[in-house]
Amino acid sequence: MRYTITSRYGDHEAFRDHAHTGVDLKMNVGEPLKAIEEGIIHIKDFGAANAGKTIILETDNGIKLIYGHLSEFNVVEGQHVSAGDLIGLSGNTGFSTGAHLHFGVKEGNRFVDPAPFIEKIQHMNESISPIPKTNIMEYLQQHINVLTESMKETAVNVIMLTDYSPVIKLFENLFKFIFFNF
């Protein structure tokens, strides 16, 4: 699903007294918002001002991804999240002209153009990976168990073939006939 961009970084709208510090994407209230990068969560609630309920996702390299005007938080202050984790729901909180997501990016203490991240935001609710999250040791143990069971079954089948198989007896008799009857 693609979200309509209603305001771009640097736009000067009549209702603002400064250039826009992010990108606004039209969304219904309650749209799932997912982390597009791994990082640590910081929560701000500006009430009826600014971006209202806001999540700041601080990445490992110090970039801050800002999700504003949320209706609900699904994370807590200081929580570590991975890309694809649900962090909140879109809304219409703070100083807002309608339901949308304000998405901004800060490097250090200054806002920068969030354009490099917009495709990730556009696709944040699509499946990122078909591989489920699992502990590597559990994964290996599951495969070792399957291999062990397969080997046990093979060993049983080999024993049954060498001890009782009429096919083996046939080959044994054929071998004796060919080599001992000349």
As annotated, the active-site residues are 100
**Burial of 70 per CB tally in 10 Å (0-12, 13-18, 19+):** buried
DSSP helix/strand/coil, 73: strand
Instruction: List for the chain the helix, strand, coil content (%; round to 5).
Output: 30, 30, 45
| Backbone torsions φ then ψ of 175, nearest 5 degrees | -60, -45
Amino acid at 168: I
User: Could you count the other beta carbons within 10 Å of the beta carbon of residue 59?
Assistant: 16
**Angle, CA 172 vertex, CA 170 and CA 173 arms, to 5°:** 65
What CA–CA distance (Å, rounded) separates 23 from 48? Answer: 20
